[in-house]
Structure 1
Amino acid sequence: MKNKSYIGTAFIILVFGIYFVPKIIDRIKNNDVVKGDRLNIEGTPTSTKSDLMTIGKAPDFSLINQDKLTISNESYKGKVYVVEFFFSTCPSICPIMNRNMKLVQEAFATNTNFGIVSITINPENDTPVVLKKHAETIGAKGINWNFLTGDKTKIFEIANKGFNLFVGQNTKIPGGFEHSGFFALIDKDGNIRCRKDEFGNPIIYYDGLEQKGITAIKQDITKLLAE
């Protein structure tokens, strides 16, 4: 019985060596050993001429801004821009996001090749008139900072399926809506871009609530503007 056990163990080791060892060696050669299989999907992030990663194309959108003008992703063609999802009556994270986005805006206020897209997830309340007042209240003065509203179903689809940034309606929480506190960074060609974390994996989105995330996105906007 012991001999059979040794034979079985040896067979398993042999199979492991034949199948997995070459893969491990390849990952070491390609400096890929820290990456998990979660990155091996369609649209795998790729390197570009800067050290930022390309995640994939940002979704198309066409919505109405605070001045009742139609703004789409084509309006930002050739520009670097940041996207966030919020709502004007948000009692929790939105004021922090607004304050931090204003810091981003102030850093690039005179650059016509930079813009910000703030999309409401409560369009029933956030009409162009409401959004214009909200922009004035928080001091949003960027020449390319648009606060957008439109059909709620389309907006939720842009967020949840297009950007994969969670938004949802929840009557059990203050404000009635919930959403992520992340900012998406888009390059001049309409691609979602980001830096890598300490393990070499793409962060995908930037933390809009912490100073570390704001510092990082400002640095990376500068890089993309120079491309």
Structure 2
Amino acid sequence: MKKMRLFLSLFMSVILVFSCKKQEDKTTVKPTVDKLPYFIASDFTPQWLTVSDLEGKHKIPSFSFTNQNGDTITNDTYKDKIYVADFFFTICPGICPKLTKNMNLIQDTYKNDNDIKLLSHTVMPWHDSVPVLKEYAIKNTIDDRKWNLVTGDKEEIYTIARKGYFADEDFVKTQDENSFIHTENFILVDTQGYIRGVYNGTIPIDVKRLIRHIEILKKERP
């Protein structure tokens, strides 16, 4: 009899715990993402900051490069624009074709939205001259009104990749300035030049997440 009572007691306890768990699951609502964090350090730790918190915080530094048309591209080109940046080179046989394909997807998604732009930096500027970038742009149906492929001084490109966009994970670990940069990151930058997201540009589901986040940033515009 004692064993029966013990069994019934344990059975009722399990039922009670399960019932409470189900009730908890019903009342738990996952928060809706309606604001993006800021990324102000190379470890990409997200920080939710207010406008008053942003003074002195990291943003993309000044730059000046040359695009596939031979035009000078600077921060002013992207002033008040939301943009996606990445790093590639035209003869890359590995991840770069995937990056270009997925950048094309973003280009097509926002082909009629002048407030969304793209910026791809070559990490092999000694090879990727203006004519080479132009040929690559034509081959990959790149719209130069929306998407700039830029080349320039190697040191300047590598510096902005590592210290501006935090795009080189190996550099964070090794601090080797001579190391070749090769990253799959897409970096989302807001209208004020702050980094608001980082995504694996080779993974379609992450590119879809990036597009969702662009829509969130659009709602921040005054």
**In the aligned structure 2, how far is the partner of 1:212 from the partner of 1:48?**
29
**Alignment partner of 1:140: what SS?**
coil
**Alignment partner of 1:57: what SS?**
coil
Shift of 1:167: 8.0
Question: 1:57–1:191: 8 Å Cα contact kept in structure 2?
Answer: yes
Matches within 5 A, 1:145-160: 145-160=147-162
Question: 1:60–1:73: 8 Å Cα contact kept in structure 2?
Answer: yes
Alignment-mate amino acid for residue 114 of structure 1: I
Question: 1:182–1:208: 8 Å Cα contact kept in structure 2?
Answer: yes
Shift of 1:58: 1.8
Match of 1:95 in 2: 97
Matches within 5 A, 1:138-149: 138-141=140-143, 143-149=145-151
Matches within 5 A, 1:1-227: 45-47=47-49, 56-141=58-143, 143-166=145-168, 177-194=180-197, 205-227=198-220
**In the aligned structure 1, how far is the partner of 2:46 from the partner of 2:117?**
26
Question: 1:167–1:177: 8 Å Cα contact kept in structure 2?
Answer: no
**In the aligned structure 2, how far is the partner of 1:111 from the partner of 1:167?**
32
Question: 2:66–2:73: 8 Å Cα contact kept in structure 1?
Answer: yes
**Alignment partner of 1:183: what SS?**
strand
**Alignment partner of 1:156: what SS?**
helix
Shift of 1:225: 1.9
**In the aligned structure 1, how far is the partner of 2:138 from the partner of 2:193?**
28
**Alignment partner of 1:184: what SS?**
strand
**In the aligned structure 2, how far is the partner of 1:66 from the partner of 1:167?**
27
**In the aligned structure 1, how far is the partner of 2:46 from the partner of 2:204?**
28
Alignment-mate amino acid for residue 211 of structure 1: P
**In the aligned structure 1, how far is the partner of 2:126 from the partner of 2:155?**
11
**In the aligned structure 2, how far is the partner of 1:216 from the partner of 1:90?**
25
Alignment-mate amino acid for residue 220 of structure 1: H
**Alignment partner of 2:217: what SS?**
helix
**Alignment partner of 1:179: what SS?**
coil
Shift of 1:76: 0.4
Alignment-mate amino acid for residue 137 of structure 2: A
Question: 2:158–2:181: 8 Å Cα contact kept in structure 1?
Answer: no
**In the aligned structure 2, how far is the partner of 1:167 from the partner of 1:63?**
23
Unaligned runs of 5+ in 1: 1-38, 50-54, 169-175, 195-204
Alignment-mate amino acid for residue 207 of structure 1: N
Give the number of the structure whose residues are more often strand, by fraction: 1
**In the aligned structure 1, how far is the partner of 2:82 from the partner of 2:91?**
28
CA RMSD, 1 decimal? 2.5
**In the aligned structure 2, how far is the partner of 1:177 from the partner of 1:91?**
15
Off by >4 Å, runs of 4+ in structure 1:
none
Match of 1:21 in 2: none
Unaligned runs of 5+ in 2: 1-40, 52-56, 171-178
Percent identity, aligned pairs only, is 36
Question: 1:115–1:142: 8 Å Cα contact kept in structure 2?
Answer: no
